[in-house]
Amino acid sequence: MTANKHFKRRVRERARRTGESYTAALRHLRSSDHLPEEPAMQWQRVEKSNFGYAVQVPQGWVERDVDLRNSPWETARFVDPSDRRHSVIVFRNPVGPQRAALDMAERAQTSLAANGFADLAITETEWAGRPGVRLDCAKHDVGRVWSVTEYFAVNDGIGFCLGCGSAAPADDEPLFTEMARTFEILPA
């Protein structure tokens, strides 16, 4: 039993975070544990209790000052100081009780399109343990690309967005997927 305590903790944490039953979380983790192992990345959990969320970022990433010119709803900005090819921003804003994650994504899509982003696509997904949407887009400039993936969810009239940007999207997809998977909307 002691040998499995860390695995059991992961199962309980996934069940709590996603709302799955213990058995469903166990089945998911058992199937994902059979994938080829990559070097384990070390993570740090950053809790923003005043904004109602916690985000996991890779060890070594640092938090930068928010840029309210980018958005008045920006609450956190994380970067890898040794690699400027990627960054993550978290937004939080009141959206009202009737608004859904899709509404937020459509507004963001309009704004991003006005700023030169193309290849815009919105898909439904589960994020932060609730129904949400994912918005993907890219800005192309002289052979370079800046790819953006944003995850949206609404909880009690508050909208949350995890915005992930990358100049190497194929390399960063697993990183951003894990950050999205572990994002937590904290209880009020």
Question: What are the tens digits of pLDDT across the range 97-112?
Answer: 778 899 999 999 999 9
53 lies in the same domain as 123: yes
Give residue 131's Cα distance to chain centre.
13
23 lies in the same domain as 104: no
Q: Please give the average per-residue pLDDT across 114-143, as a whole number.
A: 92
pLDDT (tens digit per residue) in 45-99: 999 999 999 999 999 999 999 999 889 999 999 999 988 889 999 999 999 777 8
pLDDT on residue 124? 95
Strand segments (E) across the chain: 43-48, 53-58, 62-64, 74-80, 83-94, 118-127, 130-141, 144-155, 158-166, 184-185
pLDDT on residue 176? 93
Name the amino acid, one letter, at 102.
Answer: L
pLDDT on residue 6? 66
pLDDT on residue 129? 86
25 lies in the same domain as 92: no
pLDDT on residue 32? 67
pLDDT on residue 24? 72
- First-to-last CA distance in the chain? 35
User: Looking at per-residue confidence, does 31 or 184 come out higher?
Assistant: 184
Q: Report how far residue 128's alpha carbon sits from residue 143's, in angstroms, rounded to the nearest whole number.
A: 34
Q: Report how far residue 152's alpha carbon sits from residue 161's, in angstroms, rounded to the nearest whole number.
A: 5
User: Looking at per-residue confidence, does 166 or 37 come out higher?
Assistant: 166
60 lies in the same domain as 25: no
pLDDT on residue 112? 95
Q: Please give the average per-residue pLDDT across 153-172, as a whole number.
A: 93
Q: Which domain holds residue 19?
A: 1-37
71 lies in the same domain as 152: yes
60 lies in the same domain as 119: yes
Global model pTM greater than 0.85: no
pLDDT (tens digit per residue) in 19-44: 777 777 777 777 766 544 445 789 99
